[in-house]
């Protein structure tokens, strides 16, 4: 939204789709009611950028939504590696790119993490990034926070605090 993008947001629950609409997402899709790939195709056709955090078996279907010259960004902790094989020739012929952001590797590289945190802090200070916090949970109840995330009931981030 910062750069004027038209955003299609996919979620598995009606209440989350309604929340996405309130946040300014132009095309919220409830994949619990409708196939997400069909919904995206019928709404906007193809997309220029995909930011995906789910990985797994849906990567090929999501890649099918990517326009020529498009960029696919997979954010995770390595699930994408064994979940699917990518065809570099097919990506090349369509001018597409697949970027993997391995959060585990990022967290292990202190210099890269510091640079990223500096940029995030800058965007937060300018109001460009406005995180949505579902709830805060004390470190002593971290399992409760993890359970909330796994249940997919959260809308926004679950933040651990002292």
According to the model, what pLDDT value does residue 101 have? 85
Q: Could you report the per-residue pLDDT of 17-34, keeping only the tens digit for each?
A: 999 999 889 999 998 898
Measure the CA–CA gap between 66 and 98, rounded to whole angstroms: 10
Q: Could you report the per-residue pLDDT of 30-74, keeping only the tens digit for each?
A: 988 988 899 999 999 999 999 987 666 788 888 999 999 999 998
Q: Could you give the 3-state DSSP secondary structure of residue 4?
A: coil
What average pLDDT score do residues 107-131 get?
91
Q: Which of 11-15, 49-53, 81-85, 122-126 has the highest mean pLDDT?
A: 122-126
Percent above pLDDT 70 for the chain: 92
According to the model, what pLDDT value does residue 103 have? 81
Question: Which residues in 125-150 are b (16+ Cβ under 10 Å) and which e?
Answer: eeeeeeeeeeeebeeeeeeebeeeee
Token pair, residue 47, equals 């997309």
């Amino acid at each position: 939204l910062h750069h004027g993008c038209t955003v299609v947001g996919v979620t598995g629950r009606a209440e989350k789709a309604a929340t996405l609409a309130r946040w300014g997402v132009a095309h919220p899709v409830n994949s619990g009611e409708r196939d997400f790939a069909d919904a995206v195709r019928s709404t906007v056709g193809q997309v220029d950028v995909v930011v995906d955090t789910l990985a797994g078996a849906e990567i090929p279907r999501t890649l099918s939504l990517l326009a020529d010259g498009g960029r696919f960004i997979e954010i995770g902790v390595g699930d994408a590696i064994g979940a699917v094989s990518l065809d570099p020739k097919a990506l090349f012929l369509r001018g597409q790119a697949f970027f993997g952001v391995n959060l585990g590797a990022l967290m292990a590289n202190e210099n890269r993490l510091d640079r990223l945190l500096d940029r995030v802090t800058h965007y937060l200070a300018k109001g460009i990034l406005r995180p949505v916090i579902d709830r805060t949970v004390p470190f002593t109840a971290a399992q409760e926070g993890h359970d909330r995330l796994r249940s997919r009931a959260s809308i926004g981030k679950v933040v651990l605090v002292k």
